[in-house]
């Protein structure tokens, strides 16, 4: 008992930045790990089906995430807190759940099936500049020159990544350019996430993070399930209870969902928004390295060119964010819903 108390006392002494770095490393590898799992499933077909399909990974992974969120935030789901939410708040939560809980991850997983992981990661960087542009246009927010320059550079980098892709089988012609369908889906996911962030900036100020996280994950998972059934048929999830699937999903859930979310939550408790945003900005680099070491995906010429410009944009944006004293507010426990969403915008896909 004494040893347990000593260990428990040591946990809060770990700096919040360490937790955030560990979470970012885990989340950054999520795309490569997801693709690797589907490759393992492709080598162990059940009939003519891959038991570790992308839809199964997303569905089961989200269920695991929901369990973790409930374990962490269940106290926030009380009658008093729920009564404080207006009808407009619930409408906004539903819209966010559809956009960022179902549509965006579904598009990302489909993109992972059609193009390289590096392309999904880099094209996903369209979300921060898009969110910035919508904030200027719809919310009339003020931003500094560094952030504008960073957003422009990131946007240019994404465009270069898309148009410089070598010809492939999953390509379509758009205005004289051959564009990959996977890249289009990744861009559409970024648009959905950006729209969700804008809705959140207008409505999440008084919504507790626990209510937001649980509701978005639960409703998003449910909507994704029914959309997949409509698109792919009733047999699409027939292997969702496969022991082979679950033995690998336990690994995925334990590392990406449970451990990653635990580190992320502990880090946010003791860090500023600007620090979390800075650490999260390294996610694309981790993702590209993970794609190389886990999948053997060496960056292509288009990814080198586009990625270099995108990383320059990320650097410029971080310089701008560090200059904004308003963004150095410490997260209030785990109730800073807007701060959480802001950091997620910079990180991109978190594997769930």
Q: 23, 263 in Cβ contact below 8 A?
A: yes
Q: Could you give the CA distance from residue 306 to residue 123 in angstroms, rounded to a whole number?
A: 9
pLDDT value of position 50 = 85
pLDDT value of position 290 = 92
- Helix or strand holding residue 173 (H, E): strand 171-174
pLDDT value of position 259 = 84
For residue 299, give both structure tokens.
Answer: 């960056």
- Domain ranges for the chain, please list them: 16-347
User: Residue 309's closest CA among 126, 121, 160, 131?
Assistant: 160
Q: Which residues pair with 172 in a beta bridge?
A: 179
DSSP 236-268: TTTTTT-HHHHHHHHHHIIIIIIIHHHHHHHHH
Q: Which residues pair with 49 in a beta bridge?
A: 46
Task: Report, as ranges of residue numbers, the positions in the chain whose pLDDT lies below 50.
Answer: 1-8, 10-11, 325-328, 332-335
What dihedral do alpha carbons 57, 58, 64, 69 form, nearest 10°? Answer: 160
The whole model's pTM is what? 0.83
């Amino acid at each position: 008992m004494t040893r347990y108390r000593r260990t428990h006392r040591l946990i809060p002494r770990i700096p919040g930045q360490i937790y955030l770095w560990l979470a970012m490393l885990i989340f950054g590898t999520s795309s490569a790990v997801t693709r690797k799992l589907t490759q393992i499933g492709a080598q162990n077909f059940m009939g003519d089906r891959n038991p570790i399909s992308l839809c199964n990974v997303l569905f089961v992974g989200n269920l695991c995430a929901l369990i973790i969120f409930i374990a962490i935030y269940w106290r926030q789901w009380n009658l008093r807190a729920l009564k404080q939410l207006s009808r407009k708040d619930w409408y906004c939560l539903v819209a966010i759940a559809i956009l960022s809980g179902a549509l965006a991850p579904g598009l990302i997983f489909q993109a992972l099936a059609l193009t390289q992981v590096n392309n999904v990661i880099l094209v996903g960087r369209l979300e921060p500049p898009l969110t910035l542009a919508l904030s200027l246009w719809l919310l009339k927010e003020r931003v500094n020159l560094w952030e504008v320059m960073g957003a422009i550079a990131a946007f240019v980098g994404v465009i270069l990544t898309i148009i410089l892709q070598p010809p492939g089988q999953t390509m379509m012609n758009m205005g004289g350019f051959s564009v990959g369908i996977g890249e289009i889906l990744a861009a559409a996911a970024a648009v959905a996430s950006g729209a969700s962030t804008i809705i959140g900036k207008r409505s999440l100020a008084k919504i507790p993070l626990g209510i937001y996280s649980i509701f978005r994950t639960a409703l998003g998972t449910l909507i994704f399930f029914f959309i997949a059934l409509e698109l792919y048929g009733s047999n699409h999830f027939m292997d969702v209870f496969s022991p082979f699937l679950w033995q690998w999903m336990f690994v995925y859930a334990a590392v990406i969902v449970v451990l990653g979310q635990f580190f992320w939550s502990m880090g946010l408790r003791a860090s500023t928004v600007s620090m979390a945003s800075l650490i999260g900005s390294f996610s694309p680099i981790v993702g590209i390295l993970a794609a190389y070491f886990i999948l053997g995906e060496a960056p292509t010429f288009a990814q080198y060119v586009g990625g270099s410009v995108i990383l320059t944009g990320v650097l410029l944006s971080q310089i701008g964010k560090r200059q904004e004293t308003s963004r150095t507010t410490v997260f209030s426990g785990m109730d800073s819903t807007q701060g959480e969403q802001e950091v997620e915008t910079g990180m991109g896909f978190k594997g769930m």
